[in-house]
């Protein structure tokens, strides 16, 4: 086994013990965040995918702001600080969601 083979083996052994960061998708459709509440682990990536005909934002005051996400576009963000975040669309006051980071 060459050096690279040993490295691959070491990685294969080590990986199950490392917290693998996951990716979660929140769809924005029908002027709603779907699902409305999403629970993730710190370091996970959250992708907001806008399937509506109009632009939206995914914004948590003081924490993150996607700015305008065009129709058909996505925006992703990794939240590292555990907590409960109120996520809104700055353009449409009725659109609210919750992001829980554990």
Partner 1 sequence: MFFTKSALLAVLAAAILPVYAQQGPTDPQIAAIVVTANQVDIDAGKLAASHTKSKEVRQFAQQMVTDHSGVNKQATALVTKLKVKPEPNDTSRSLQKGGDENLAKLKKLKGAGFDKAYVDHEVEYHQAVLDAIDKTLVPSARNAELKDLLVKVRPAFVAHLDHAKHLQSALGK
Binding site for partner 1 (CB under 8 A): 30-32, 52-55, 71, 91-95
Shortest Å distance, C-beta 55 to partner 1: 6
Is there a contact between 10 and 71 (Cβ–Cβ < 8 Å)?
no
Residue 55 or 64 with smaller CB distance to partner 1? 55
Q: For residues 22 and 73, which CB has a smaller minimum distance to partner 1 in the complex?
A: 73
Answer positive or negative: Cα dihedral of 60, 56, 40, 77: negative
Q: What is the C-alpha to C-alpha distance for residues 91 and 68, in angstroms, rounded to an integer?
A: 9
Nearer of residues 5 and 93 to partner 1, judged by Cβ: 93
Q: Cβ 19 to partner 1, closest distance in Å?
A: 37
Per DSSP, helices labelled H in the chain are 3-14
């Amino acid at each position: 086994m060459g050096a690279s083979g040993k490295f691959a083996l070491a990685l294969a052994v080590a990986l199950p013990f490392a917290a693998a960061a996951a990716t979660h998708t929140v769809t924005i459709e029908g002027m709603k965040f779907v699902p409305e509440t999403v629970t993730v682990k710190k370091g996970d990536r959250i992708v907001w995918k806008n399937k509506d005909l109009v632009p939206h934002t995914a914004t948590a005051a003081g924490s993150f702001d996607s700015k305008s996400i065009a129709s058909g576009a996505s925006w992703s963000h990794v939240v590292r600080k555990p907590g409960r975040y109120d996520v809104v669309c700055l353009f449409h006051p009725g659109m609210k969601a919750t992001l829980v980071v554990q």
